[in-house]
Structure 1
Amino acid sequence: MTHYLISGNTRARGPFRPNDWAERLAGVVSIFVRERADASHVCAVSYAMPCVDGDVKCLRVAGALQEICPDAFRFVLQFADENDLPVRALDVSRSAGKS
């Protein structure tokens, strides 16, 4: 399974502002999923989760979002592109089930 990590440092290496950008973007994704996807997907928040990688604030986006709510997935990637935020694919299948 693939997830995507959007870094809070721009490609020019400056921190992206405002400081709560990841929380705000996760909230927008949650709204997209609730409004545009099947109502059975109650855990909309799990599709976009703020996190820290090293000392950089990031947003981790579940690859499943692309199928659950393509509009939200496109919005997040477009946001990253427009704000010069690097996106890295993560293979999370190797870590699944490990303690």
Structure 2
Amino acid sequence: MTQTKPREVFIQGVTLEGRTFRPSDWAERLAGAMSCFRPDGVRSGIDAFIGYSPLCVPRVINGVKFVIVNERLREVEPMAWDFVMNFARDNQLQVAEACLLPPPQAT
């Protein structure tokens, strides 16, 4: 049996009306708020580090800010998933399901 890859939800920094969402650092702020929700739990002590969770990362694609949210966030912390999805809905941001492909290998 093959295991399906969790889907990713792309929250685009463009409203449903086509306007650029402000403030300009919204993606970094949202992903930063989700940084402690990790598949392997929160680390503390000497192994702790500052960084985004692999389940919720900011990206710029074709000059547009996005937050890419992995569906596994729902398993790790359902309230965090709801927070992110409600943020997108409340701010009328465009949301799409997709899969981020790795960059092509140099040949």
TM-score bracket, shorter-length normalisation: 0.7 to 0.9
Moved over 6 A (4+): none
Contiguous gaps of at least 5 residues in structure 2: none
- 5 Å-filtered alignment, 1:1-99, equals 1=5, 2-31=7-36, 33=37, 38-39=41-42, 45-91=53-99, 95=101, 99=105
Deviation by residue 1:38-92 (Cα, 9 ceiling, x = unmatched): 446x786111111122221110011110111111110000000000001111145
Distance 1:44 1:18, change over 3 A: closer
Q: Distance in 1 between matches of 2:57 and 2:17?
A: 24
Q: Any unmatched runs of 5+ in structure 1?
A: none
The residue type equivalent to 1:29 in the other structure is M
Higher helix share: 1
Identity, % of aligned pairs?
A: 35
Higher-Rg structure is 2
Distance 1:49 1:79 in 2: 15
Contact 2:10 2:95 in 1 (8 A): yes
